[in-house]
Each structure stands twice: as structure tokens, then as C-alpha cells.
Structure 1
């Protein structure tokens, strides 16, 4: 009979991914060795290879795991059947909260995805595009006129710009934590969304590019 996994196997894998993500984020994927990952985890290199066959497999798991979690949050909120504004607000809150423990993974996704082989990179970026499309749908449902003006996706990217780069300036023990920032981001984005007038924006853009 095949040997079953030892208790705590999955927890150990997650711990290794977390340590590797931190190293990749701080040092860069190319500059990080499996020896350094093993040391950070308090494991021997042989034990580390029991969980992951090489550094590349760690990179794939970190990047893909991060976008899969975001897609799962999107699917869960969409399935809840909320009205347009509560749906978008809940998505923003959940995404900001997810980033609380995923700062390093997100940095790896944004900076080290280029080191993935083509098939892996396209799969990860494809999931990421699904997530962006899901938020764009939520924006479009709340403001159909913005979707008609082809502004839903640009506005979605502005939202992600707020969320994605919070980890570059927020201090872990600062005055405001992610739980406090999440409703602020939601209020700022949705409040701004309500005040937008597509015709005026497009007219201004036309004058700017004329």
C-alpha cells in the first residue's frame, strides 16, 4: 500500500511557500537559493526537496496560488446574489483583507511572473485576467453607463492600483491596519464611481488629445 501523508504535511507546505514568497519578494527570485529557503524554514535541504522538487515549483505555486485565492473570493461573492453596490463593496473588502497576508505573494506575482515558463505564465495571467474581468463586471452592473463608455476596465485597474500598492507604504504596526483601510478604499472608490459623468470625462479626454 502507498504511504499516506504525514499529519501536518499540508501545513508544512504552506509554511514553506510563505517563507519562499518572503525571500523572493525581498531578494528576487533569481537571487534566492533553495539553501536559503531551507534555512528560513528551519529545514534541511533534503527535507525541503521532500515537499518541493525545485525552486521553480515554488514560484509556480506562489503565483498561481495567489490568483486562485482571489478568483475563489470573486466566485464566492458573485454567488451570494448581492445587489450591485453591496457586491462591489464586499469584493473590495474581501480583496483588501486577502492582501493582508499575501503581500509577499503579490509582489512575487507582479515582479517574478516573467520567470515562469510560457505555459505556466499564460495560465497564471489567464486567471488574473478572470479576476480583473469579474471586478469590471461588478463596476459595470453598478454603473452601466460607464461600461457603455468603455470605462469599466480602466476604473477597475485604478482600483487594483490602490489595493496592489498599499503594501509598499503601509506599516505592519501603523495607526491604520488593513481592516481599517478596507472600508476606506471601498468608500473612496464607490463614492468616486457614483460621481463620475462619462460624457464629461470623454469630452475632456477629447480636448486633451486634440
Structure 2
């Protein structure tokens, strides 16, 4: 009978992903070695390889895991059966909360996805497209008159632009929390959305 995993196996894997994600985000995937990941984790290189076969496996898991969480988030909010504006507000709140603890994974996804092999890239980017489509559905629900226009996707990407890059300027240690910012983002977007007119 095979030896089972230790009780802390999954926790250790998550810790490794977090440390590797931070290194990839700060140094870049190409400039980070498995030796550096092992050192950041306080593990021997041999122990690190017990959890992940190579640096590429770490990249795939970081990028795909982040998108899978966002994909699940969209599905959960849609299942709540909220009205158009509450649904969009809820999505914004959930995304901002998720990004509060996933800034490194998000930077890896946006900057290092180019290192993924075609099959892995298509799977990750396919999930990412579904996440964008979910947010677009929420935007169109608030402005159904734009459904036949070219505006829904650009509007959605403008909204993601507000959310995705908050980590570049947010300073929670100075009293500006993600929790406090989420309704502000929603107010800004929903306050301006009624005024949007398709370009002539």
C-alpha cells in the first residue's frame, strides 16, 4: 500500500506557491531559480522537488489557480440570483477582496503567461475569457440597451482596469483598505455607466 500524504502536505504546497508567486512577481519568472524558491521557502531543493517537479509546474499552478478562483467567484455570484445592480456590486466587491490577497498571482498571470506552453496557455486564457464574459454579462444586465453594441467588452475592461491594478498604488497600511475601496469602485462605475453613449 502506498504511503499517504502528510497532514500538512497541502499547506506546504500552498506556502510554496505563495513564495514562488512573490518571487516571480518581483523578479520575473525567467530570472527566478528553483534554488531561490527553495531558499525563500526555507526548504532544501530536494524537498521542494518533492512538491513540484520544476519551476514551470509552479508557474502553471500559480496562473491557473488564480484564474480558477476568479472563475468560481463569478459562478458563485451568478448563482445568488441578484438583480442587475446588486449583482454587479457583488462581483466588484468579491473581485476586490480576492485581489487583496492575490496581487502576486495576478502579476504573474498578466506578465508571465507568455512563458506557458500553448496547451497550458489556451486553458488558462480560456478560463480568463470566461471570467471576462461573466463580468460583461453583469454590465449588460445593468445597461441592456448596449447589448447589441460594441461597448460591453470595452466597458468591462475599463472596470477591470480599476480593479486589477489597485495593488500598484493601494497602501492598506495607511488606512485605505480593499474593503473600503470596493463600494467606491462600484459607485464610480455604476454612477458613470448610465451616462455612457455608444460612439457614433
TM-score by length of 2: 0.98
Moved more, 4-13 or 144-153: 144-153
| Superposed CA offset, 1:169-192 (max 9, x none) | 112412311111111111111111
Partners of 2:6 and 2:68 lie apart in 1 by 25
- The equivalent of 1:125 in structure 2 is 125
Give the structure 2 partner of residue 27 of structure 1.
27
Aligned counterpart, 1:142: 142
Provide the residue aligned with 2:161 in structure 1: 161
Any stretches of 5+ residues in structure 2 without a counterpart? Answer: none
Query: Gaps spanning 5+ residues in structure 1: where?
Result: 204-210
CA distance in 1, matches of 2:147, 2:187: 20
- Shift in Å, 1:146: 1.7
SS of match in other structure, 2:175: coil
Q: How has the CA–CA distance of structure 1 residues 67 and 192 changed in structure 2, closer, same or farther, with 3 Å as cutoff?
A: same
Count of matched residue pairs: 200
Equivalent residue, structure 2, for 1:179: 179
| RMSD of equivalent CA atoms | 0.9
Tell me the distance in 1 between the aligned counterparts of 2:57 and 2:172: 29
1:197 shift after superposition: 3.1
1:46 aligns with 2:76: no
Q: Could you report, residue by residue, the CA deviation over 1:130-161 in whole angstroms, capped at 9, with x for unpaired residues?
A: 00000001111111112222211100000111
Kindly provide the CA deviation profile for residues 4-26 of structure 1, in whole angstroms up to 9, marking residues without a partner as x.
11001111100100000000000
